[in-house]
Chains A and B, each alone.
Chain A
Amino acid sequence: MSEMTTGVDLVPQARVEQTQGGTAVVASVRGEIDLHNSPELRGVLLECIASHSPKRLVLNLGQVPYMDSSAIAVLVEALQKIRRVPGRIFLTNLQPRVKGLLEIARLDSIFVVCADEAEAMNKA
């Protein structure tokens, strides 16, 4: 397991783990995300996918009280990229407003939504 520092406030650190199923990256995202800072999230996620080709990208959104459609667009773009690995994105610890927006966007069944990181790491 290795820790990497991103230099980006939204995703200050990420953890890379080697599992039986391949590389997993676990990142905690912090703060509200809108058109102002969603490009930062995009940069981190796309770099992470390009560098590690993870089979499993776990995004802990427990400290994200709010996101808008620009953040959703970033998650969808990351999903398209990781599917080419092929890998999956797991979203954990969703706050009510984020969960509500995913439902409006009809993405709650496209991303793998888990209660916490442990469930995401153990999910088949």
Chain B
Amino acid sequence: MSKADQTTSGIGQQGARVELSMTSEPGQIAAVRRAVESLCTDEGLDDRSACEVGLCVNEALANVIRHAYEGAAGRPIRVTAVCDAREVEVRIRDWGNGVNPAELPQRPYDPLEPGGLGLICLGRCMDEVRFEPQGDGMLLVLRKRAAAADAAVQVGGCGHCGSATPGCEKRSGQ
């Protein structure tokens, strides 16, 4: 991994990790989405959160293929996901045109006009969406906290498994 890609992950070393390389063919999106969803569910993230993360990975990859690579096939995309039962972080690196979607003029979302829904999904489903220009492309960092972990913290329970029992022993990756 190049130095330009390195940023701090809040999840740290405890979370399980998956690293995936793909090229910019739409036919590869589903396998990557399913792999990230599986990581999330295997690590104990609630189903709803896992599904939302999968949707956002799908939408982000589709945006890379359509916009960053302007539909060109065979271009590299690297996806890294780190997850524990409380949180997931997904990093999507491309070597495309480097256009930062967050800096494009925003128009009001109209459900009957094409475009924009992918970014709406990211904003609705993720707790953090950050585009980091890399000089030779873009790094998108997505973070999401598990709904169950939030609820457990609110009631003083175990933040790892959502149990109402504080200090529950269940913790993925151990």
A97 at the interface (CB under 8 A from B): yes
B85-118 interface with A by 8 A CB criterion? 109, 111-112, 114-115, 117-118
Whether the Cβ atoms of B112 and A101 lie closer than 8 Å is no
What 0/1 pattern do residues 93 to 117 of A give for CB contact below 8 A with B? 0000100110011110010000000
Q: Does A17 make an interface contact (CB < 8 A)?
A: no
Interface of A is mostly: helix
Contacts A76-B111, A76-B112, A110-B112; A69 near B26 (Cβ below 8 A): no
Please tell me the number of chain B residues within 8 Å of chain A, measured between CB atoms: 24
B29: which A residues are within 8 A, CB to CB? 34-36
- Please report the C-alpha to C-alpha distance between residue A81 and residue B156 in the assembled complex, in whole angstroms: 53
Q: Determine the residue in chain B with the shortest Cβ distance to A38.
A: B26
- What is the chain B residue whose CB lies nearest that of A69? B117
Is B62 touching A68 in the complex (CB atoms < 8 A)? yes
B residues sitting closer than 8 Å to A (CB atoms) are: 25-27, 29-30, 33, 51, 55, 58-59, 62, 65-66, 109, 111-112, 114-115, 117-118, 120-121, 124-125
A interface residues, Cβ below 8 angstroms from B: 32, 34-36, 68-70, 72-73, 76-77, 79-80, 97, 100-101, 104-107, 110
Q: Would you mind naming 26 contact pairs between A and B with Cβ atoms under 8 Å apart?
A: A34-B26, A34-B58, A34-B62, A35-B26, A36-B25, A36-B30, A68-B59, A69-B59, A69-B62, A69-B121, A72-B117, A73-B114, A73-B115, A77-B114, A80-B112, A97-B55, A101-B55, A101-B121, A104-B117, A104-B121, A104-B125, A105-B111, A106-B109, A107-B111, A110-B111, A110-B112
